[in-house]
Amino acid sequence: MVFIPVVPHERPPSGRALDLGRRLKAEVEKFEAQYPGTSREDLRAAALLAIGEERASGPARQRVAAVMMGLVGALVALGVLLNEGRAPWPIVSMMVAAMIAAFVAVIARRARR
């Protein structure tokens, strides 16, 4: 069987988007001239706030990593409890592998956005 990947065709930005991009770039340059230490994270957070995103604070990668590590710890503890004192490593390794797969899926989903 032959697999033919289908890549969705991306539309070029509209005239409005191009105009808005030019205006935003000019405003960002003015802002950076007034506040020289402006970071990319500040600009990203401001853009998210401007379009109405709820959570624009804190690095997303750190939040995802913290949640994933908490889930791995909880699943390891659950595996040890469910295994009733026997050697827990097969169950623990399966749970850790499942959490790594979930982590990779989250990263891949975020990369597509």
* Confidence (pTM): 0.41
pLDDT attached to residue 87 = 63
pLDDT attached to residue 56 = 44
Scanning 1-113, the segments in alpha helix (DSSP H) are 15-34, 40-50, 60-82, 89-112
pLDDT attached to residue 12 = 85
The Cα-based distances of 37 to 22, 50, 87 in angstroms read 22, 20, 54
Who contacts 44 (Cβ-Cβ below 8 Å, separation ≥6)?
Answer: 56
pLDDT attached to residue 30 = 94
The Cα-based distances of 32 to 23, 25, 27, 28 in angstroms read 14, 10, 9, 6
| Segment-wise mean pLDDT, segments of 10 residues, the chain, 113 residues | 68 89 92 90 84 63 74 74 68 75 76 63
Per-residue pLDDT reduced to its tens digit, 66-94: 777 777 777 777 777 777 766 666 766 77
User: How far, in Å, CA of 45 to CA of 59, rounded?
Assistant: 9
